[in-house]
Structure 1
Amino acid sequence: MQAANPIGEAQLVLADFGEAILSGERVERRLAAILAADVAGYSRLMGLDEEGTLAALKGHRRAVVDLKIAEHRGRIVKTTGDGMLVEFASIVDGVRCAVDVQRQMAERNGSIPPERRIEFRIGLNVGDIIIDDKDIYGDGVNIAARLEALADPGGICVSRIVRDEVRDKLHFSFEDMGEHQVKNIARPVPIHRVRFDKPGNEVSAAALTTTRSARPSQQKPSIVVLPFANMSGDAEQAYFSEGITEDIITNLSHFHSFFVISRSTSFTYKGSGVNVGKVGRELGVRYVLEGSVRQAANRVRISAQLIEAATGHHLWAERYDRELADVFALQDEIARSIAAAIEPGIIAAEIQQARKEPGELDAWDRTIRAHWHICRFTCEHLAETRRLSTEAILLDRANSTAYAALAFARHFEALFGWGDGPTESHNRLGEAARKAIAADDRNPTAHTALAIFELFSGRHEEARLCLRRALKDNPNSEFARGYLGVTYAFAGDYDAALQHLDEAIRLSPRGLLVVIWHLCKG
């Protein structure tokens, strides 16, 4: 399948408009709701099974997507391989369509292994569009595409104008994702995630949409994974570097600590000389991951580095040398290792940013600082974690990450006998963990916190169920994997315990709790 050339397409569009202007032809404009969608991890899926992926995508289109678009009076403007652009006269219809599609896709994916699932990312915006033959253009379309790039697999992102228009008409909640810079748009765009997994959530929309400024430290950080360079000297090996990139994007998407730009956007930089600072400005991202792949005989070397876009500072770098046996298993192993290693690097950088910034702290700053203090393992630092987490929650009642930090602080206080004493701290751990899940039941750290409460309450099976749920949401969670090993050890299944503890160590050999995993192994 030949990749689209965005530069060439843009030149053709400009030429068409120029011809229209010279001929005196009037450019047609109208206000519309725009939906942009693509498939998360599409290249990886094609690498695993090209025919099966194409057949499955066509089946989903036929049985769900196209039917829902027609049902909600939408018009498919164009399709681009795994993506599509849809126009609606009503944004209410557009949001309903997006939610219906994602709900039905979640049901259809229920019996499919995670690595084989086709999951859409969807972005929705309302804006002025330019009509040109069978296509549409304009800022409204550009913003919709940017929103799609920020959406989680199976998720929906909307602009603030969409949120404001539909929140009194539809029974969905919205989570504030802060303001993001969009290429060729002068002002940052406020973005919201649609919370449709729990209709009628007791948390109000107002509580979920706390106002944040455009200051970078006051929103969750975002990252783009640039296509890894194929250094093998053989164009036929490009599939491997593309597959690695795809897998990293998919694996990073499981983490709740940052937003990941979609493949469809990141791959527009393939094959071009990339200036990291320029990429950061164009996409509004704070971090860039780049790397290279070199194959020789039966070995492969993969290098990766995490860079702060604004400064060019290298935050993390690693090299992986492996034997090239099972290609796809190797891709998965490397991608998971890189994803697990990147999160601590970004969190550490965010902590430094939050510590440097003067003035009043917002909910995200307080949450990040709370994580910094929890890593110090002293009575005073854990008390500071509780204070900062509580303040963050007061500013944002839907801050699942802050509730989880509070839960972990209570856990360590219970272990060491600090704070309010072991029994009270343990009970408070359970309370905070449940609130973290109520705020976001797809937060794996929240489910891990509840598992710890169940484990130390003597309910091993309940703890295992919580940890399995955490690993379903994020298979790369060192904490969930390690505590699953601890749970099996408590239950007397030492073979299973060693298996999961070894996996936790492999995922994050320099992780926060790696000493505990080694101690548990004996």
Structure 2
Amino acid sequence: KRRNVYKVAITYAVVAWLLIQAASILLPTFEAPTWVMKALVVFLALGFIISVMISWAFEATPEGLKRTENVPPDAVLPTWSPRKFATFIVAVAVIAAGLLAFNLFRTKSVALSTTATPITNKSVAVLAFANLSDDKGSEYFSDGISEELLTVLQKIPGLHVAARTSAFSFKGKNATAQEIGQKLGVAHLVEGSVRKAGDVVRIAARLTQANTGEEQWSENYTRNLKDVFAVQTEIAQTIVEQLRGRLTGGAANPTTKAEIQAEVRAAGKGGTKSVEAHEAYLQGRFFINRHSEKETDQARVAYQREVELDPKFALAWAGLAQAHIWYCNFATEGGQKGFNDHLTAAREAVERALILEPDLPEALSARSLIETNFDYNWKGAAETLRKALALAPQDPALLMQAGNLAAARGEKTQSLEFDRRAVALDPVNALAREYLASALSVTGKQEEARAEYARAIELNPSAPNSHAGAGLTYLLEGKFEEAAVAAQKDAADWARLLIMSCARWSQKRVPESDAALAELIANTSETGAYQIAEVYGYRNDKDHAFEWLERARRQRDAGLPGLRADTLLPNLHDDPRWNAFLRTMGLADDQLK
């Protein structure tokens, strides 16, 4: 008791609590890494043990600290009165509690602002149907059935449908209907299962009220595999009828039913009546959604088989085009020749699809990508996108592409709006988050951009350019070491090396910057000329920058649509060659009017 061990322990605990509350507010303000807070807590915990040990082994005397055995029992020692001690402890505790309350209130306010979007009653999410087949390799079939149903419903005017990426993110999870509805922002859920055995398929489907979990409609279908198309159409029509009936307060009349049937038929155009081709198409869609080089090749093979089985299968031609475009955008194998071969094949597939179905949104989407990323036909791409969005206004991929085109034209505000709409429709789509992050960074909102990159990384840690994108936001704020650390984690070499070279250059670590640039040139000169130009532009090496920009144009580099908004190239803007190059690209102000 004389050693004041209890008082030391209580005082230390209360002061440490105050320091932790203050740090939880101040550290995020200065964007300190998360390890700093962890280190502080560990340091304070160790300090508690040490302070208690010292208070036990030593005494505080007027002459300073002395070991307990060297202090006479009758010695007069300085001490606080109980009243002063209690006053001090209460004051510190009140301050700490106030900081805790402030922190909790601030967090609650932010959370409320992000969930204020109202849910319309005319909204639905199609969840991935469960695969109940004995062959677990038939997962592509159950996924495909639900995805095709989703695609049809997405094209029904006035109906809000959650995007595939978001809806399918609940696959294999035990989330409640209420949780799913709240996260996806929908009032209704479509769930089901598929059991495929030989030529017989059994499909169970049900419509559920999300906020209550109440089943509104359900049906089981046992059909021959060749009748699966009719089942999908019937399910889609029934769901639209159910939703309209609940909004109007009664059953659909014959006229309304005829209108719904016409809408569903129009939404389902471009398909096939060949069971074998349809099954291959479902495989292609299953693989293309994986977004990897290996599985994109599997998708390409499946799509190629579809068009051979049914040359009039327009959706299959559109899928084949998208697989080839993926290679042009992301793959590095094959160099310039491989790129040219894929681009030629993509053009041919798009034209075949549009000859069969001139108003097919999937084919128009592929055409707009080619016109933007490789032809630099800005006006043509805008016209194609306008037509596609009129047909499928809720397609997040089309909205992302519209944002990409707006950025190419220097329309930063419009680009940001398109990307926000895409994320609102598909909040767990990592690529949509990346597009939004990039748009925020371009408009100078680096902290918001980092938050979006963090969400993209959480959704897909191996997403190319997410870590490097976060690194770019640090680079633009002059935080060069943070930029290098973030970029180092990126899965794409071209993205990692770009930011590493720029960051090390700004840190005057020239040999490291040169080594990263040399590796970038050695590995990606035929597929990453634009990124090489960015490094030289950032270094203010204008001659090399324009040399590589011209090479990127000749190679039809997909990075060039970002030219006008590129935050790494301001050093080039006062050079006469800049406006001349913009004019060559068709991006001069008067050319975009």
Give yes or no for TM over 0.5: no
Which structure shows the bigger proportion of residues in helix conformation?
2
Which structure shows the bigger proportion of residues in strand conformation?
1
Q: Which has the higher contact order (CA 8 A, sep 6+)?
A: 1
Normalised by the length of structure 2, the TM-score is: 0.34
Q: Greater CA radius of gyration, 1 or 2? A: 2
